[in-house]
Structure formats: C-alpha cells, structure tokens
Amino acid sequence: MAQLWGGRFTGETDRMAYEFNASIRFDRRLFHQDIQGSIAHVTMLARQGILTEEEKDSIVRGLTDIREAVDAGDMEIDETCEDIHSFVEAALIRRIGEAGKKMHTGRSRNDQVALDMRLYTREHVKETDALLKELLRVILAVMEENVETYMPGFTHLQKAQPTTLAHHYGAYFEMFKRDRQRMADIYKRMNYCPLGAGALAGTTYPLDREYTASLMEFAGPTLNSMDSVSDRDYLIEYLAALSTIMMHLSRFCEEIIIWNSNEYQFVEIDDAYSTGSSIMPQKKNPDIAELVRGKTGRVYGALTALLTTMKGIPLAYNKDMQEDKELSFDAMDTVRDCLILFTGMLRTMKFRKERMAASAMNGFTNATDAADYLVGKGVPFRDAHGIIGRLVLYCVEKDTSIDRLSLEELRTVSDKFEEDIYDAVALKTCVEKRLTLGAPGREAMEKVIKEHNKYLMNADL
Ligand code: ARG
C-alpha cells in the first residue's frame, strides 16, 4: 500500500514496524467521524475560494458514496492502509480522481485525528448521559414504590439504624445524578473544534475556523493550534468520570451480591441476569453483578494508562497519542454494556420485603431511638446511651429484642420506661420520625422524590 508520505522515502518500511505503527485495526471506528470532518473541511474550503464549488461537490459526493458503500457492506475498509484517514483519502481518489487529491489542503492528520476522536467521544458522552438517565428512572421508580419498605441501614456492614429501601436507593440516585453532571461539564469544556490547527502551527490558507466549527455544532474553534493537536484532557476527564461511574456501579453490585446471598435473601435477581453452576445444581449466581464489579478494574486501567502515556510528551503531536484509542474505546464499550445490563438487572430484581423488615427488627436498629425515648423523659443522652447499652447486652444474653421485653424487664434498667416505649421503638415510628431533609421519614422522602421527578424532566445533553 502506497503511503501518504511516501515521497520523501527511498527504502521500504520494515514489515513489523509498519504493523506496529498502523492504527487502522482500531481507528476504523472513526470512519463516520472522519467523513463528517472532511465534508465540513471541504465545505469551508470552497466557501473561502480555496476549492471550486465543483471540486467541493465532487468530493462531498465521493465521500457520501464511500460512507454509504461501507455502511451497506458493499465496500470493505481496507486494513492494509495505515489508518482510517489514509483509507478514506485513497478510496476518494480512486473514486473521483484528481479532485480527491485536494481534500487534504490546509489540514494535517494531526488536527484531523484530534477532530475525529473528539467527535466520537462527544457522541459517547451523550450516550453515557442518556444511559445514566435511564438508570435514574429505574432507581426513582423503586423509590416511589418503597417509601415504607423497611430495612436495616448499615455502617461497617453492621446493622445500624432502620431505614427504607427508597432511602437506600436514594443514595445511588445522588451518585448517578452527579455522574450526569460530570457528563454535562465535560461536554461543555470539550466542545471546541481543533480542525484548522494543521500539524501544529495552523496553515497559510485563509481557513474560516469559526465556520468549520459551526458546521459540526461545536461552540467554536480551539484557540491554540499546538494545544489543539496535543490535547487529550477531555479523554482523561471522560475516563475519570467513567471510572467514577464504575465505582458507583461496583458498590451497588457489591450490595446486591450481599443482598442476594443465602444469608440475607433481601432480593432475588431475575433469571435473565443470573447463571448456574456446572457442578452444583442448586446454584444461581449473581454473575452479572460480579462482572460489572470486576470490570471496574479495566476502566480504572484505561484512565491510569492514558494519564501515564500523556505525562512525558513534549508539545505538540507525538505518536504516543495514538495509544489514546484502544483503551478509551474499550472503556467506553465496557461502561456502556455495564450500564445497560445493570439497569436491566435492577429493573427486574424482586425485593423480599418481609425479610428486609424482619432483619431491621432483629438487629437492635432501634437502640438509638430507645435512647432518644429516655432523653424525651429527661435522661441526659450520655446516660441514656449507657442504659440502652446494658439493655442490649441483656437482650443478647436472652436472645431477644428491645421491643419484646416486658415493661418489668425494661424497668430493671430505668424507671422512666412506660407503656409508650413500644410505639417509640416500633420500626415504623423509628423511620417516620426521621424527618430532616435527606432522611428516610415519609414526608422528607416524598419531598426529595418530587425534586427528582422534576430533575428528570430537564432537557438532556
Ligand atoms: N493514527 C494517528 C493517531 O491516532 C493519526 C495521526 C497521525 N499523525 C502523524 N503525524 N503521524 O494519532
């Protein structure tokens, strides 16, 4: 395959060096973006009088035909080409002849690839945002239905205080909402067009960079040509945000795996998202949750790899930067799949509400409320804490719970206990009394749910 840059060379590239250098195997993904960028570029060139209208029309037609042919499967992307840019240019020249050789006027592959990758990533940022929104919808639906589904809240994985399923899911709503905000933020910052930066120092042709940028719906052109060809910050930011999404998914998966265990039995994962064992017939394993948790590592890996690749590169373009693609593509695919599967798993997961409530009852999750009860009867909190601590010890020895003790038993630790203690430590009361904004009490929860519904009505990216 003749090289775009063959003129200056007399010797052949070593076979392995050629393969090592070539990127078409993975940058073929940028095919559509490459064509889109070239159409915008030649449209601008014609408007500036650098190409004639006929030349531009012929190039645009040629590029459109190539896109259709490849999309329809009538034409193969030739993997003997060095990269996707060489393929498109060679295919164009073959198709339309001389005019095709003018497409690359006032452009370098450096600004071309910077543009292609940005266009590709911009779409993915939007897609990630849409998938997060869908996940938030599923979470919110569970919240709306489970304002009175009681369960233990944990600290140190030890039962701590009673809460509700709505409240627990509400925590994840906040996390994925922040993830969406990160998408919006990245989108806004990355949405500038690098095309026209040339190899590194712009070009001598009178390009209209504002116009090119507007053709591809960028907020404007980038303002430094060296930075334009060597900036991959937006990818690093995106990979960091994807890593954070994976961290959130992984924590959620970890909980689901625990809740799905024989010991807990809080939830049942649908058959569609579980698998069996080759040897143990009784098994139904939470493989999807485990895989999502496991794949977090490779997304973190992509972030670490790109940060490391970028750290020692002098300005401006260097071939090191070609390494941005495979790992970013892998991370984007991984997070997309994880979000889709996780959302499906969540949508179909069943809750064993009685098990959840029973678990909240038998773990002394109402001990703080019992102490608060004594405070209400005039006992200083520190003393109340000690009294209830002794009561819990008594219950542990007797294998019972505070609400099952008789009034006489209760009075052995404090004469402040009266009949109303039973209502005060009932699960429902313990939760309902938690009315501060952000707490699980019904009123507080309903206020938050209303906010979330309003938030999900907002426009997308
Ligand atoms: N395949 C290259 C990349 O991904 C395209 C840019 C090549 N530019 C160059 N001067 N060799 O970064």
Asked whether residue 10 carries a pLDDT value surpassing 90, the answer given is no
CA of residue 199 to ligand 1 center, whole Å: 10
Q: Which protein residue's CA is at the shortest distance from atom 12 of ligand 1?
A: 322
For residue 116 and ligand 1, the question of a CB distance below 6 A is answered with no
Q: Which of 124, 277, 278, 414 is catalytic?
A: 277
Judge whether 253 and 289 are in contact, CB under 8 Å.
yes
CA of residue 33 to ligand 1 center, whole Å: 15
Q: Which of 23, 41, 156, 248 is catalytic?
A: 156
For 204, other C-beta atoms within 10 Å of its C-beta total 8
CA of residue 82 to ligand 1 center, whole Å: 9
State residue 284's pLDDT score.
81
For residue 232 and ligand 1, the question of a CB distance below 6 A is answered with no
pLDDT digits (tens, 9 = 90+) for 129-148: 999 999 999 999 999 999 99
For residue 321 and ligand 1, the question of a CB distance below 6 A is answered with yes
pLDDT digits (tens, 9 = 90+) for 376-427: 999 999 999 999 999 999 999 999 999 999 999 999 999 999 999 999 999 9
The number of the ligand 1 atom at minimal distance from the alpha carbon of 325 is 4
Residue in 26, 193, 198, 25 with CA at minimum distance from that of residue 104: 198
pLDDT digits (tens, 9 = 90+) for 270-308: 999 988 777 777 778 999 999 999 999 999 999 999 999
The C-alpha atoms of residue 442 and residue 447 are separated, in whole angstroms, by: 9
State residue 2's pLDDT score.
66
Q: What H or E segment, with its residue span, contains residue 220?
A: strand 220-221
The number of the ligand 1 atom at minimal distance from the alpha carbon of 23 is 1
**Mean per-residue pLDDT of the chain:** 95
Beta-carbon-side half-sphere exposure of residue 107 (alpha carbons within 13 Å): 28
The number of the ligand 1 atom at minimal distance from the alpha carbon of 84 is 1
Judge whether 161 and 368 are in contact, CB under 8 Å.
yes
State residue 7's pLDDT score.
81
Asked whether residue 3 carries a pLDDT value surpassing 90, the answer given is no
156 is catalytic: yes
CA of residue 227 to ligand 1 center, whole Å: 15
pTM for the predicted model, two decimal places? 0.93
